[in-house]
Amino acid sequence: MTDAQKVHTAAMLAIGDELLSGRTKDRNIAHLASVLTLAGLDLREVRIVPDVEEEIVAALDALRTRYDFVFTSGGIGPTHDDITADAIGRAFGLPVEPHPEAMQLLAAYYESRSLPFTDARRRMTRTPRGASLIDNPVSKAPGFRIGNVFVMAGVPGIFTAMLDNILPTLPTGPVMLSTAIACPFGEGDIGGPLSEIQKRHPETAIGSYPKFDGQRYSTELVVRSRSEAARDAAAAEIQAMIEGLAES
C-alpha cells in the first residue's frame, strides 16, 4: 500500500455539560462524520465528556495515542466553564499561554468594534505552547491545532467553518464508496442469505437498516467498500437475492 492509499483514522471528543444534560443536542458529530467519510478518513470513535479537566485529559490521551487525528468541539470560549485549552495543555504536558498571533488578531478585532479587550476575551487567546491557529471566520476567536489534535468551537456554525479551514491540510485517503439498495423485505426474511453474501465479500461492509412504515417492514441495505469492484459485486448479489425472494 503506498502512502496515497493509507487510510487515516480519526476520533472525535465532544466536550460540554450541556450535551450530557440534554440541554443541547449535538450537531457536530454527524457533520464531522459525513465530512471525514467524503475525505476518505475513517472516524472510528466518538466520546462526549463533561466540562471536567480530568475527564477531558483522560479521554484525549486515550484517543490521541490511538488514532491518527482527534477533533474536539466545545469549551474554547471566554467564560469560566471553557477549560478545553487548559485540559489539552495538560494532556500534552505543555504550558498554556496567550498565543501571540491570537492576541494580535483579537486586539485588532475588538478595537475595530470599539469593544474592550477584557480578561475574559483574552482567555480566548490561550493555547498550549507551539499550537498553530485555526481561523474562525464567524466570530474571530480562533481554534488551534497541537500535535494531532484539532481544537474547535462547539457552536455548530463555527465548528463547521473551522473544519472547512483544516480539511485541505488533512491527508486524504481512498474514499469509502457506498451503494444503498432498497429492499422490500424485512430483516427477518433476508438475514440468513445476507449473512452468506457478507461472508463471500469480506472486502465490503454490508449494513442493514430496518424501516417500518406503520404497516410493514422493509430494509435499506448499504454496501460499503474502498474497492468499486468489490462493492459492485456484493451489490449485484444482493439484487439477485431480492429478485429471488420476490419470485418465491
Positions that interact with a second copy (CB under 8 A)? 17-26, 29-37, 43-51, 55, 77-81, 110, 115-116, 118-121, 123-124, 138-139, 155, 176, 178, 187-192, 194-195, 198, 205-210, 212, 217, 222, 224
Nearest to 40 by CA among 3, 8, 67, 1: 8
Nearest to 51 by CA among 28, 80, 22: 80
Q: Please give the distance of CA 142 from its chain centroid, rounded to a whole number.
A: 19
On whether the CB atoms of residues 223 and 181 are closer than 8 A, the answer is yes
Nearest to 227 by CA among 167, 179, 170, 181: 179
With the C-alpha atoms ordered 106, 109, 115, 116, is the resulting torsion angle positive or negative?
A: positive
For the chain, how many residues are written?
Answer: 248
Residue with cell 475588538: 110
| Minimum distance from residue 245 beta carbon to a second copy (Å) | 12
Between 34 and 132, CB nearer to a second copy: 34
Cα–Cα–Cα angle for 235, 237, 242, rounded to 5 degrees = 95
Between 81 and 130, CB nearer to a second copy: 81
| Minimum distance from residue 74 beta carbon to a second copy (Å) | 11
Q: Please give the distance of CA 140 from its chain centroid, rounded to a whole number.
A: 22
| Minimum distance from residue 171 beta carbon to a second copy (Å) | 19
| Minimum distance from residue 248 beta carbon to a second copy (Å) | 12
Interatomic CA distance for residues 16 and 33, integer angstroms = 19
| Minimum distance from residue 161 beta carbon to a second copy (Å) | 12
Between 146 and 241, CB nearer to a second copy: 241
Residue with cell 491570537: 102
Nearest to 185 by CA among 220, 149, 154: 220
Cα–Cα–Cα angle for 120, 126, 130, rounded to 5 degrees = 170
Between 78 and 147, CB nearer to a second copy: 78
Between 132 and 196, CB nearer to a second copy: 196
Between 94 and 186, CB nearer to a second copy: 186
On whether the CB atoms of residues 9 and 68 are closer than 8 A, the answer is yes
| Minimum distance from residue 130 beta carbon to a second copy (Å) | 25
Between 47 and 231, CB nearer to a second copy: 47
